[in-house]
Chain A
Amino acid sequence: MTGSTTTQETAAAETVERMPTTIDEARALLMAAGEETPNASTFNIIPHNTTAYKLIPSSSGNTVVVLPGESVTVHDDSAGDAIIVIGPSAALRYITTARAENATHTSARRTVYAMRDAQIDWIDAMTGSSSHTSADFDAQNTVLLAGNGAQAKFRSVFLGAGDETYRSVVRMLHLVSRTRSHMLTRAALLGKSSGQYRGLIRILPDAQKCDAYQRADTLLIGERPRMDALPVLEIHNDDVRCSHGVAIGRVDQEPLFYLRSRGIPADSAISMLVRGFFDPVLISMGEDGRMIGEAFSSRLTSAELSSVAFAELSTTHTPALDFTTPHDGRS
């Protein structure tokens, strides 16, 4: 991992504010930063004064250029790879959603390259399917803070059910000084679904006065959900502020008891608590958050949740398997 440091440093030093005009130029920016380039062969330059832009689904992936000083919202449910280059002082709101209505597998690699004073506000949601619960989702999202003063805010949510598997990789790479990042992931896993979270904050030796924060919370509900979280910090200089936190737990029993005592059925009570868990994040996302919330709600009211909820309440905790070994014979 440290091997690419020098290339990244050089790239940072040589960052020119010329916007890429071809896919190859966009790729070259990423490569100079030591990054592998996603497969993204359709090239889009967002025209001046566009406020909303929607990426066309493309199996070959999209490359998008946001011109200097522009401010745009890009919706991406293309389920493909993407390279996005944000010009100096431009602001991008990037909404990526993965649904698996008819598919059983989605996978996307997206890399955003932020130039001087660029801002990205990224919302990533994996909302499953309303008809089945057996898909697997895989997202690898990377932000390269390549220009001084660039800022990134990343929020992701997913709600797993049935046998679904989710894998969310988020990489925040601070290549130069005075860059800031904030990452927040909230996930709820129901039934036998499983999640994997890999979050990285990397601050290079010459990237000073950086500020980075990472938080990932997971709610586990029901039969046999599984979460594997690995939030990584790689800090190569001392003039930074950096911290991260992870919490993994079950639905809080006290509010659940309270709701039940008010005559609310268990499944509705749990569904309310799960919505309450996502709400603060979804509300902060505005209209997009409301859409994601609706997709989650339709999952929560499905029959599957009810059975899960009742299982949750009726089981008293008995160990499934005795792992102890016979005691020392001496005593």
Chain B
Amino acid sequence: MALPIYQDVSIDRSRYDAANKHDPQYEAPPGVNEQVVRIISAAKGEPDWMLQKRLAGLKLYDGTAFPTWGPDLSLIIADIASIRFFVQPKAKESTKWEDLPDDIRKTYERIGIPEAEKRSLSGVGAQYDSEIVYHNLKREWDEKGVIFTNMDEALRNHPEMVKRYFMTQCVPINDHKFVMLHAAVWSGGTFIYVPPGVKVTVPLQAYFRMNAERGGQFEHTLIIADKGSEVHYIEGCSAPQYNSSALHAGCVEVFVHEGARVRYSSVENWSRNTFNLNTKRAMVDKDGIMEWVNGNLGSGTTMLYPCSVLRGERAHSDSLGIAFAGCDQHQDTGSKVIHAAPRTTSVIRAKSISKDGGISSYRGLVKIMPQATGSKSSVNCDALLIDHLSTSDTYPDMQIDCADVDVAHEATVGRIGAEEIFYLRSRGLSEEQARQLIVAGFIEPIVKQLPLEYSVELNKLIELEMEGSVG
């Protein structure tokens, strides 16, 4: 029985969960206050407007209550004062892999970054705790004017563009509690600019890793795809397993200008002690196309709803999501689309798997504004429940403010059918193999949208999570 990918399922989660010795160059005292914010800003030598933005964010954060809907956040709320909001690794950013300090290099080699880069990426960035430690862009793209750098450097070298796009119209600093916090303490992240008409044919990649215990990661990613350009950006995340809570409150802002196309893929695999409260949003202009591909496997608690604001005529958004909730996990994910211009279209496909008492929720929004005549939207959610302990929730909100539209939503919840298992077993598969095959088939439409390394990794992770599920 040849099942090439499924034969070798020996993946060791410890390669993600193992921590390196914590040896930072500098770390801010725990908690967040004006002093910490000033320290971060000064350490980066930022212009005054950015410091003012951070302070404004902090002020809003202090005056706003934590959200009371969705998953239980009480653990992280209790721990928030002891989180280190800024940890500077002992390394200067480098474009040569060999220049990285041994332990950081070792971590990334364990995860497999360099091989991936050698094979198929046109650029890669790696962030370790609060700052980017490695960055490389193939010369070909450099010459065409593509900018792929870290946010701190972008702030130094392209201040006008950053000032114009950074937390202004897409995700303003007053958006919600964790965005306010992000505005105050953000550090690192990626900046991408693709000039008009340039099509970056191979993906750009960044990998984020939290190493410090009670750490926080607040990377800011800003992608600007100018008229008629194309880019695919992939992001991977992991953190070692500690007993105390860690917080990831990153922010992604994407600008898809006229006729441009951006694909944003991410596979998040933070350790189970992580609260992943991330904000991702794209502004899509006329004829632009935004594609979100999300895999949420890690984190104890995830609240993530990538959003596309379709503000130009005929703009399109496509969102694909897969969430896996195992024991003690609550994956509260979904997609949002705001149709703000005529003849805009959107497609949302979400799949979730719950197992061992895990809770997966789809929470989404389709909003069609009065001016968005002739818009179309389709939302499809499928949930698979592996056992009777687990939970699946679906909350798809549709706010339709325009008569000339076509909106459809469908959702199904079910388990693996006894008939399907019986069929595969009669073909000589063990029950466990049969279950894995069915689950692999369930997530296949999403996995096939990812580049090879990631789809293999996602498949392996799901298999790992599925191990021992027979019984």
B387 and A238 contact, CB distance less than 8 A? yes
By a CB distance below 8 angstroms, the chain A residues around B395 are: 230, 232
Question: Residue-by-residue, is A170-192 near B (CB-CB < 8 Å gives 1, otherwise 0)?
Answer: 00000000000000000000000
In the complex, identify which listed stretch (B11-19, B231-239, B370-378) lies at the interface while the others stay far away: B370-378
By a CB distance below 8 angstroms, the chain A residues around B390 are: 237-238
Question: Residue-by-residue, is A288-331 near B (CB-CB < 8 Å gives 1, otherwise 0)?
Answer: 00000000000000000000000010000101110111011011
Cβ distance A107 to chain B, nearest Cβ, rounded Å: 22
The total of Cβ contacts below 8 Å across the A-B interface reads: 156
10 sample A-B contacts, Cβ–Cβ < 8 Å, listed by A number: A231-B396, A235-B413, A237-B385, A238-B385, A241-B414, A247-B408, A248-B408, A250-B406, A323-B371, A330-B161
By a CB distance below 8 angstroms, the chain B residues around A250 are: 403-406
A247 and B286 contact, CB distance less than 8 A? no
Query: A222: CB under 8 A from chain B?
Result: yes
Cβ distance B387 to chain A, nearest Cβ, rounded Å: 6
Report the Cα distance A248→B406, complex, angstroms.
Answer: 6
Query: B243: CB under 8 A from chain A?
Result: no
Interface size for B (C-beta < 8 A) is 58
Report the Cα distance A227→B403, complex, angstroms.
Answer: 9
Instruction: Give the contacts of B391-405 with A (CB-CB under 8 A).
Output: 391-405
Query: B386: CB under 8 A from chain A?
Result: yes
Decide: A327 near B257, CB < 8 A? Known: A220-B405, A321-B371: yes
B391 and A248 contact, CB distance less than 8 A? no
Chain A residue at minimal CB-CB distance from B226: A331
Query: B258: CB under 8 A from chain A?
Result: yes
Decide: A242 near B412, CB < 8 A? Known: A234-B393, A248-B400, A331-B227: yes
**Which residues of A come within 8 Å of B, CB atoms?**
205, 208, 218, 220-250, 312, 317, 319-321, 323-325, 327-328, 330-331
Query: B341: CB under 8 A from chain A?
Result: yes
Cβ distance A164 to chain B, nearest Cβ, rounded Å: 15
Chain B residue at minimal CB-CB distance from A316: B373
By a CB distance below 8 angstroms, the chain A residues around B413 are: 233, 235, 240, 242-243
B410 and A208 contact, CB distance less than 8 A? no
By a CB distance below 8 angstroms, the chain A residues around B255 are: 328
By a CB distance below 8 angstroms, the chain B residues around A227 are: 398-400
Question: Shortest 7 CB-CB distances between A and B: which pairs?
Answer: A238-B385, A220-B403, A317-B373, A238-B415, A233-B394, A246-B409, A248-B407
Decide: A239 near B169, CB < 8 A? Known: A231-B396, A233-B393, A249-B406: no
Chain B residue at minimal CB-CB distance from A219: B403
Max chain B Cβ within 10 angstroms of own Cβ: one of A223, A245, A330 = A330
By a CB distance below 8 angstroms, the chain B residues around A222 are: 403
Chain A residue at minimal CB-CB distance from B407: A248
Contact among A225, A245, A324 for B341, CB-based, below 8 A: A324
B341 and A236 contact, CB distance less than 8 A? no
B403 and A205 contact, CB distance less than 8 A? no
Query: B320: CB under 8 A from chain A?
Result: no
Contact among B311, B402, B411 for A244, CB-based, below 8 A: B411
Cβ distance B259 to chain A, nearest Cβ, rounded Å: 11
